Amino acid sequence: MSDWGDDELDPADVDDAAVDQATGEVVDEEPAAEPSLYYGSVDEFLREYLRSVYRRKIDGKSRVWAARWWEYDEAVIRLEALWRAWEFLRRDPATGMSVWWRDHADHHMGVLMDPQGPFAAADAMATENQCSKGDPLPYEAPPEGLFPDVRELDA
């Protein structure tokens, strides 16, 4: 038989519940909310972040790119992977961004920009697909609604 009174908490009933150390009462803990996305779509990620920070000379010979990137399935999949990895790793204040650059951005961007890569069929000599060193990557907006903001879909 327990010496615990009716209004006191029996430790055997607590299991893994959090207990306030001062009062001994069980504290209702809400599960931690899933961190929200910073960017709502791969398009927003590319438009607002990646094309501005990953600046390379695109000459149509040693590096290729397509301003209409969304017309190339493999490119969309790789860019989506970059975005999702960035969203996850940005929360690691220690080495997250270093890991993202080393393991994700440099790998996928190298494949995307390879003359034999996903943009090989793009018109490499078209001015909209080229840029000088230091310029943002060429970009043309995808058709409206192609990449909806997933933050709004989850709400």
**Consecutive sets of 10 residues in the chain, 155 residues long: mean pLDDT of each?**
50 54 65 78 98 94 95 98 98 97 98 96 86 94 96 79
DSSP 31: P
Long-range CB pairs of 145-154, under 8 A, 24+ apart, other chains included: 146/43, 146/70, 147/41, 147/42, 147/43, 147/44, 147/70, 148/40, 148/41, 149/40, 149/41, 149/44, 150/37, 150/40, 150/41, 151/36, 151/37, 151/40, 152/40
**Reported pTM:** 0.77
Using DSSP's 3-state secondary structure scheme, residue 138 falls into coil
pLDDT of residue 153: 84
DSSP 131: B
pLDDT of residue 14: 47
**Which amino acid, one-letter code, is at 144?**
E
pLDDT of residue 24: 67
Cα(15)–Cα(21) distance, integer angstroms: 15
